[in-house]
Amino acid sequence: MGYTLVYTQVLEFLPYLIKGAWISLQIAILAFFGGMFFGLILATVRTFGNNISNKIVICYVTFFTNTPQLVQIYFLFFALPEFGILLSPYIAVLLGMTLNAAAYLCEIQRAGFLSIRQNELDAAKTLNFSLFQQVKYVILPHIMRVLFPPLSNHYIIMTLGTSMAAIFGVEELTGRAFNINSETFRSVEIFSITALIYIVITFIATFLLAIIGRYFFKAKIRIIQ
């Protein structure tokens, strides 16, 4: 064993890494809400659209959920320039993640729509709720309670997915770990610290989501599984 772990040198880079984590967070949040929005459109089309539009959405979802996000981004980054579309690494990653998230979030949101039970609506109708009241008191609370746990779960998966951005040179958390690695060669120390930061930020996210879920949507999320 010629190697001893030395963390002192790497710890100097901690603020630098944490700023990187901030960028990871940005990418995750932007891609998540972009994916939510686009996924909602897809889910709406899928629920209310005609045969052809349905098929298109199904193809989209099937394609994006059955191929790696990494290769999708490679494709955007390297193949689109052939058509004269040049994307910066940051935009390519963000776009790739958003398109990918849209496919998953479409499925999740659709499952939420489908889970509204007719008898709950009937109950609301017999109580003489107006359409607005039905949406406000019955449909939305129900959808949020059903959707919140899988959405939170997917958000955590996306946070981890942002590390792919490093491969394209984006200086988020993993990207910055790459940078320090090529400067100091303290690889094990760097990547273990990086791993730890990911653990911390996903724990914080789960914790906040659990609180939001519990107090606003009566949805139960366990912090430790």
Partner 1 sequence: MERLIEEIPNFFTIWNVIFLAKAMGVTFLLTAIGCLVGFSVGGLLAIFRKTKSIYLLPLRIFIVIYTEIFRRVPFLVSLLLFFYVFQIIKISDDLFLIATITVCIIATAYIGEIIRSGIESINQTQWDAATAMNFTYYQTLREVIFPQAWKVILPPAFGFFIMFIKDTALASQIGVMELTFAAKILNNKGFSPLLSFGTILILYFILSFPLDRFGKYMERKLASNKN
- Cβ distance to partner 1 smaller for residue 98 or 174: 174
Give, as ranges, the residues between 196 and 225 that touch partner 1 (CB under 8 A): 198-199, 202-203, 224-225
Left, alpha or beta for 59 (phi > 0: left; psi -120 to 50: alpha)? Answer: alpha
Any contact of residue 194 with partner 1 (CB under 8 A)? yes
Here the tokens at position 82 are 């052939």
Binding window for partner 1 (CB under 8 A); candidates: 111-119, 122-130, 159-167, 212-220: 159-167
Angle, CA 68 vertex, CA 152 and CA 190 arms, to 5°: 70
Beta strands, E only, the chain = none
Distance CA 48, CA 44 (A): 6
Tell me the one-letter amino acid at 19: K
Tell me the number of residues near partner 1 by CB under 8 A. Answer: 39
Question: Which of 85, 188, 208, 211 contacts partner 1 by CB under 8 A?
Answer: 188
Q: Nearest Cα to 159, choosing from 46, 40, 68, 27?
A: 27
**Smallest distance, partner 1 to C-beta of residue 148, A:** 17
Three-class SS state of 70: helix
Tell me the one-letter amino acid at 95: L
- Cβ distance to partner 1 smaller for residue 56 or 156: 156
Give, as ranges, the residues between 61 and 100 that touch partner 1 (CB under 8 A): 62-63, 65-72, 74-75, 78-79, 82
Residue whose token pair is 């509204």:
116
Distance CA 162, CA 127 (A): 47
Any contact of residue 163 with partner 1 (CB under 8 A)? yes
**Smallest distance, partner 1 to C-beta of residue 79, A:** 4
Distance CA 154, CA 173 (A): 19
DSSP state of 167: G
Residue 209 near residue 200 (C-beta atoms within 8 A): no
Question: Which of 87, 164, 180, 219 contacts partner 1 by CB under 8 A?
Answer: 164
- Cβ distance to partner 1 smaller for residue 104 or 148: 104
Any contact of residue 52 with partner 1 (CB under 8 A)? no
**Smallest distance, partner 1 to C-beta of residue 177, A:** 7
Residues at the interface with partner 1 (CB under 8 A): 1, 3, 62-63, 65-72, 74-75, 78-79, 82, 156, 160-164, 166-167, 174, 177, 187-188, 191-192, 194-195, 198-199, 202-203, 224-225
